[in-house]
Amino acid sequence: MKGISRRLAAIAGILALATGAQASEGLMCSGEGATVDVALGRLVVVGVLGAFVDIDGTTYSTGPERGEGIPIATGQAFGDDDGIKIDFVDPNYEEILVKVRLTYTGNEDEPLAGTVTIGDKTADIACMAG
């Protein structure tokens, strides 16, 4: 249990989350043909506020303020000793449309890396906080 608590503290540190009403930060991830931008809230768990995902021109978005794309909602988001996992679903919560799987790298510039999957397309991504 201590390992999980330490890892969650590391997530908070990596993301350098702000306090107060502006309590949000984000992950900006990219790879060959892929972009993933996830706005996160300051919580003791992974709290997704919104996202934009693009693989080879297929785009998904949680709302027009995040960018144009096929509508998605956050289905689940989880952080553990290994990294962060996020699933985005259709607006009716019937199908997982986008999977983001990230692990810790130990690299300060890009502390998380992994994959984003849309249907049968998967791309490797590296992420930085900002």
From CA 21, how far away is CA 126, in angstroms rounded? 29
Q: What is the pLDDT of residues 1-53, one digit of tens each?
A: 444 444 444 554 544 333 333 456 889 999 999 999 999 887 777 889 999 99
pLDDT tens-digit map of 61-87: 999 889 899 999 999 999 888 899 999
Give, as one character, the DSSP assignment of residue 90.
Answer: -
- Give the model's pLDDT for residue 46: 83
Split at pLDDT 50, 70, 90, the class of 59 is: very high
For the chain, the straight-line distance linking the first and the last C-alpha, in angstroms and rounded, comes to 28
pTM: 0.79
Between residues 107 and 118, the one the model is more confident about: 118
From the list 81, 82, 106, the residue with the least C-alpha distance to 14 is 106
Answer whether residue 93 shows pLDDT above 70.
yes
